[in-house]
A and B are shown apart, each in its own frame.
Chain A
Amino acid sequence: MSKGYLALVLHSHLPFVRDPDRERFLEEDWLFEAITETYLPLLDVFERLMRDGVPFRLTVSISPTLAAMLQDGLQQQRYLQHLDRLIELARREVERVAGQEELAGLARMYLERFEGVREDLTTRYDGDLLAGFKALQAKGALELITTSATHCFLPLQIEPCVIDAQVQLAVQQHRRIFDLPPRGFWLPECGYAPGLEEHLDRHHLGYFFLDAHGILMAEPRPRAGIFAPVYCPNGVAAFGRDPESSNAVWSARDGYPGHPAYREFYRDVGFDLPLEYVQPYIHKGGVRVNTGIKYYAVTGRTEEKRLYNRAEALRKAREHAEHFLTSRRAQIARLASRMDRPPLIVCPYDAELFGHWWFEGPEWIESLIRLAAADPAHIEMLTPSDYLKRHPENEIARPAFSSWGNKGYAEVWLEGSNDWVYRHLHKAAERMVDIARRFRNAEGLRRRALNQAAREMLLSQASDWAFIMKTGTTVPYAVRRTREHIHNFNTLYDSIMTNKIDQKALSRLERKYTLFPDLDYRTFAG
């Protein structure tokens, strides 16, 4: 049997949702849910593998906005409050369902999970779970990479200095948090436009990922298709996503996550139990939200769901990991005879898919790693850096404009619901460059205002806002955040130009949007 490589890439990202002025708000739960259901369970899997001496290599991208939130004292504190409410709810659930054997077991499972999360976070990681990722990097298990500063969809930006700053600030922050410079870069939404590699090269980033057709439509067309990287003419390597393996994991209908044994996402006690009972644990005003306590299995296309059976679901996750590996082996066997080296299969996913949406996802990854490690002669898991070290010679080609969005281009982020933002984003970017050049040696209040203007402009560029406007969840929030940052930027811009800076208002913004505390506006002068 032939040998091949598997590069699993987990991209973790959430937009900057921090608001010291609001006690509890809906969107903060994005972060809280992801910590409880994805980030800590993944760390748990990795730690377990380390403890058992299972070698592995995985690429994890952590967005600068997510990293900033995970290290933020206020959000750490709020998360613990959130977790304590959840633990209280789980305790009440254990009491409520006592005597109902299966349910009681599940309620206890959640209580233990949440208490475990609290224990891990406070004692093992001392509140900062990035320390966990950093330690795993130091031990050689993870390769940590970054993405654009505020997860900007880069093909729709037109100001080169600002695109460059999106890369530079991300690299700077990554280095500060993780001690090592990132070797690679996750292009948000796999959004690539010819020329972006120049910015990556300038900041010593050796590789990036793009969707399959970005490579398959490259000029000249690469002989190995997506099963080997290509070098852009400037030497930065481009790795293409394998659609076949991706679909098995992404698809709720045809892929693994939709299996009847797995946990059903939509049956949450936040919706299933009487309002007065769940009131303290849902959103204010009685807006029901997911709590994370879910007792039912996918079951099938029926409203009559059966109870979740954890042991059965875990067995299934292991079977699916086996199936995934068997499919990859077959894929490799088909490819190997036509290539001059072992084929590489690149599987990038959003990290938040695992655990949050696909509850058993982290255990699937664990099984996958264990099974692959037990049979290294056939499939070797590695990172892009490992690959490039092993195969430094690759074809040279110019990748094509592409993304992993609908139909493969930019239409998710550029359509009727969200195209209005670009007039404002581009104007703010242009003005930022202008004031950075105009006031090259600003001091004091003006300097602070320039730095904050840069933060507001960057925050307005998050791909999340346009994405949400298009896909239709929490739209008013996305519209408001876009307007807020553009408004804040414009106000600061006017005050800088007229030298009438409102110190109190500036301080308020600095306290609210604390991202990139070391940011120097002169970055934008080019």
Chain B
Amino acid sequence: MTRERLQSFSLDELKRIARQEGLEPVEGLDRGALLDLVLEAFDDSRQEREQENSLPILGEERKYELSQDEELAPEPNGREEYPIPARYNETRVVALVRDPHWAFAYWDIEENKARTVRKTPRFESLLLRVRTEENILFDNANPWFDIPIQPSDSGWYIYLPHPGLSYTLELGYVAGGKYHVLCRSQPIRTPREAAEEVDAPPGRRAGPAKEAEVMQDPLERSLSLSLESASSESAIPQRITSLPLEATDE
């Protein structure tokens, strides 16, 4: 963002831009102060955005850089020109692997079906059941855990406690203390976590001593180098709760 570009806006427009950037209060500020404030905010948000980026991503980003003023480019985003449906009125849940600990799920319930579900006697809640076929029990002592969802929800990030595991999501509901499945996602498998390997003593997984040697120095170093970029901390707040009631599978 350049000062000159901001200069071309009226005071009211500048205030609007400032508010858009979350800068409050803007009343009472003179033009110069407002300009400084907005410039600084653009700079901060850019730095913040770039902070987490890996080097290839930072490099790639330069490729798309055309103008220092593009934050304000008055380009239409096609909302009116190219309408697309919010949903496709189908009963479906899809899971996507994001990293060793997080998956993204989106879902939809066909309108008629949703109405029927809501009218089920003693309907309690819609839920996502996260299930693994592997020999793992979650905190609730079951090979699944549940996440209650609201009818207005359509997608969530889901925290998966165990990396390197296969999961299937079920979209279902509870009525009268009983669990009913509406649909299932395709199975997904999360990657093993790179960070857990760092803590492990070299050569832990393999028997022969030769391999333990190979794991020393340069290879080890390049391993930890690449792991720096592969740790899977996440800024997304965890949204997962276990349903208190005992769920029975149909």
Contact = CB atoms under 8 A, between A and B. Distances in A.
B98 interface: yes
A193 B88 CA distance: 27
B65 A407 contact: no
B245 interface: no
Interface in A82-115: none
Interface string A204-225: 0000000111001100110111
Interface residues on B, range: 35 or more
B70 interface: yes
A476 B77 contact: yes
Interface string B204-228: 0110001101101111011101110
A424 B84 contact: yes
Interface stretch (A309-317, A385-393, A477-485, A504-512): A477-485
Nearest to A246: B55
Contacts of B242: none
A338 B67 contact: no
Contact of B81 (A158, A221, A407, A480): A480
B226 A213 contact: yes
B46 A411 contact: no
A471 B99 CA distance: 19
Contacts of A155: 97
B46 to A, nearest CB: 7
A250 B191 contact: no
B62 A412 contact: no
A288 B68 contact: yes
A187 B75 CA distance: 31
A407 B71 CA distance: 26
Contacts of A419: 104, 106, 155
Contacts of A400: 191-192
A445 interface: no
Nearest to A252: B58
A434 interface: no
Contacts of B2: 271, 288
Contacts of A220: 205-206
Interface string A452-474: 00000000000010011001111
A247 B191 contact: no
A426 B105 CA distance: 13
Contacts of B66: 26-27, 29-30, 33, 289-290, 473-474
Interface stretch (B10-18, B20-28, B112-120, B229-237): B229-237
B64 A30 contact: yes
B54 interface: yes
B52, B67, B70, B226 pick with most chain A CB within 10 angstroms: B226
Contacts of A350: 56, 59-60, 63
Interface in A305-340: 331, 334-335, 338
A406 B52 contact: yes
A235 interface: no
Interface string B76-107: 11110111110110000010111110101010
A33, A216, A468 pick with most chain B CB within 10 angstroms: A216
Contact of B96 (A33, A34, A244, A414): A414
A490 B88 CA distance: 11
A250 B219 contact: no
A349 B66 CA distance: 20
B186 interface: yes
Interface in B107-159: 108, 154-155
A49 to B, nearest CB: 24
Contacts of B76: 476, 480
B5 interface: yes
Contacts of B59: 250, 349-350, 353, 357
B54 A405 contact: yes
Interface in A274-320: 275, 283, 285-290
B178 interface: no
A287 B52 contact: no
A366 interface: no
Given A30-B63, A472-B49, A223 B226 contact: no
A427 B88 contact: yes
19 contacts: A26-B70, A33-B66, A212-B223, A212-B226, A216-B194, A217-B194, A223-B210, A250-B56, A290-B66, A405-B54, A408-B54, A414-B98, A427-B88, A471-B61, A473-B65, A474-B64, A477-B75, A480-B81, A486-B82
Given A30-B64, A223-B210, 20 more contacts: A26-B67, A26-B75, A29-B66, A34-B63, A216-B197, A221-B205, A221-B206, A225-B222, A271-B2, A287-B73, A290-B67, A350-B60, A406-B53, A407-B230, A409-B232, A419-B106, A422-B104, A423-B87, A476-B73, A487-B83
